[in-house]
Copies of this chain bind each other. A is one copy, B any other.
Amino acid sequence: MNAQFKKGVLELCVLAQLAKGDKYGYELTETISEEMSVASGTLYLLLRRLKDENYFETYLVETAGGPARKYYKLTDKGMSYTQELKSGWLEFVGQVDRLIQ
């Protein structure tokens, strides 16, 4: 797994997952891990950064078995940023395709 390929794209994957509904950190780690390797520490750093930039709000939910979960919820700003980032990504993939075909 080429770590460099993920630069900037992991952010899009996280945002796109949250666009489907609120999720907590550990849950995101597991979902993304189904497709590609990702260190859990990386996810938490990314989540904190995106929260600092006001792309999400968070709330805690207690659980019967295990520690509390911190859920992330996209803000309006987060939603429009997700759309921009996604279309930027699709454009980029097209550009690369034309260069490597």
Residue numbers of A with Cβ under 8 A of B are 1-5, 7-9, 11-13, 16-17, 31-32, 35-36, 85-86, 88-89, 92-93, 95-96, 98-100
Q: Which of A1, A3, A16, A96 has the most C-beta atoms of chain B within 10 angstroms of its own C-beta? A: A96
Q: Which residue of B lies closest to A92 (CB)?
A: B5
Given contacts A35-B95, A36-B95, A95-B35, contact A5 B100 (CB under 8 A): no
Q: Is the interface of A mostly helix, strand, loop or mixed?
A: helix
Q: How far is the CB of A16 from chain B (nearest CB, A)?
A: 4
Contact among B2, B88, B99 with A5 in the assembled complex (CB-CB below 8 Å)? B88
Instruction: Assess whether A100 is in contact with B36, with CB atoms less than 8 Å apart.
Output: no
